[in-house]
Structure formats: C-alpha cells, structure tokens
Amino acid sequence: MSQQMTTVTDVNNIDQLILRIIDTRRLKQLNLTETDIRLLCNRSREVFMSQPMLLELSAPVKICGDIHGQFTDLLRLFDYGGYPPASNYLFLGDYVDRGKQSIETMCLLLAYKIKYPENFFLLRGNHESAGINRIYGFYDECKRRYTIKLWRTFVDCYSCMPVSAIVDEKIFCCHGGLSPDLLNMNQIGQLARPCDVPDKGLLCDLLWSDPDPKIMGWSDNDRGVSVTFGADIVGKFVHRHKFDLICRAHQHRITVVNLTTRAL
C-alpha cells in the first residue's frame, strides 16, 4: 500500500474520501489507510445509533437488495439510478461476503451514510454478522488486505445498523422477512443495540426468514435458521398494519413478487 496516501481524519473531508473510493474502479486498488476506514466505521456507527432501529422514511426512495461485495455492480447501480444526493436510497443489507470487494463496498456505503444521513439508509442483513463473515469471506478479506482488528471494527459498526424501515406508512422493508414474535412495530424499535444476531427470535427472523408460497402459516426454514411463512401470514400482516406490501431481499426477486401479489 502506498505511503503517499493521505489519511482523512476529519469527517468534513468525506467528499475527498468518497472520490478516492469511487476511483478504485480506475486504479484497481483501494486508496484508503486503515485509519481512514476506521473513521468511516466509527462515524457511521454514531449516525446509526442516532437514528431508530425502525426507520420511517418518505418517498421517493430507491430500494436496493443484496450487494455481497460486488463493488462494480454497486457503482453500476449508482450510474443507473443516480449518485447521492441526486437520489435517495434504502439498502436492505448483505453488503459483504462472497464478492471480492466487500471492503470497498462497505466503505462507499458508510461514507454516503455519513455524508447524507437523512437521504441514504442502510439496513442490516444476515451477513452483517461475525459468525457468517468467518464462513463466507469478509473475515478473510479483511485479514488478507488489512487486519483482523479492522474486521472487528466493521462488526462493531454493523451491530448498530437498523433492521427495518417503513416507507410512506405503506411499505414494510427488511432484509429477511416476518416473525411469529412480531405483534407490533414498537417491538422493532425497542430492540437493543449494539447487538449480535441471535439464533432465534424477532431480530433473527427479520434478517433470516423467507416466504414460501407452498405453505400456509409458519414452518421451519431449510436454511436451518429462522422460519418460513405463507401467503396467509403476509395477508394478515399487511392488513393488520395497513401496509400495501412488503419489500425484502435475501432471495431472488421473483419469490417476493409472487408471494406479495398473492397475498394482496
């Protein structure tokens, strides 16, 4: 890593940092020191903690699913949809693991969160978890390119991310899905932070559960974690809370569209 890199120590210099991250597409190398990245994690953590666990947002907002370390795809998304603040964004989690540039992906997203805290929103996905990182690549990427200590700083950061959002009082958004423990929206807002993802319960389900158009009610999840839920559960949920639809990630898009259409 070049010794000529300038460490950004003041959040007011975030514009410079954003440009350096985006320039990775041209340079093929991330021009950030470990101190720069720690700054991003620590400052964005403060922003996450200043905002509720259940976000209440207004349209227009572009809602985006899993990125999984595909930094080039993230930039292509902004090329198409507009770079902040030209467009408002809500990302539904799973920023890391699997892809080769999880660090670049996280850094750019966190930088935009710091720069535009009221226009750019990041929910937590099931891969924003220490245990999952150790299996699917982000831990190894941090260890290879920087240090394990930096990975722990990332973990501390996303342990404070919100887990759900409601757009215009009509669209319920989360990474995974519904939970049999979710009776009212206040329960989400009362989830404590910072927190690890537990093996069961409300927080686990919001990040891990899946719809299943072949069942009614609740069932065990083939992932070995959380539950699956049928169209009847979706219908009852949107009716009870006066939502129009549920917007989630975690799976291929067509599953969500089919189930939501049937439920409505």
CA–chain centroid gap for 218, Å, is: 25
Query: Is 4 within the bounds of a domain?
Result: no
Q: Where are the alpha helices (DSSP H) in 116-184?
A: 130-136, 138-145, 148-158
Q: Is the separation of the CB atoms in 262 and 255 below 8 Å? A: no
Catalytic site residue from 68, 127, 175, 250: 127
Each residue's pLDDT, cut to its tens digit, for the chain (264 residues) gives 333 344 444 556 899 999 999 999 999 899 999 999 999 999 999 999 999 999 999 999 999 999 999 999 999 999 999 999 999 999 999 999 999 999 999 999 999 999 999 999 999 999 999 999 999 999 999 999 999 999 999 999 999 999 999 999 999 999 999 999 999 999 999 999 999 999 999 999 999 999 999 999 999 999 989 999 999 999 999 999 999 999 999 876 544 333 344 333
Query: Residue 256 has what pLDDT?
Result: 37
Cβ–Cβ < 8 Å for 32, 107: yes
Domain containing 70 equals 11-263
**Does some domain include residue 1?**
no
Instruction: Judge whether 3 lies within some domain.
Output: no
With respect to residue 115, please indicate whether it lies within any of the assigned structural domains: yes
Query: What's the CATH code of the domain at 254?
Result: 3.60.21.10
pLDDT score of 46: 97
127 is catalytic: yes
Question: What are the angstrom distances between the C-alpha of 217 and each of 180, 213, 236, 245, 254?
Answer: 10, 10, 10, 18, 20
Structural domains in the chain (count): 1
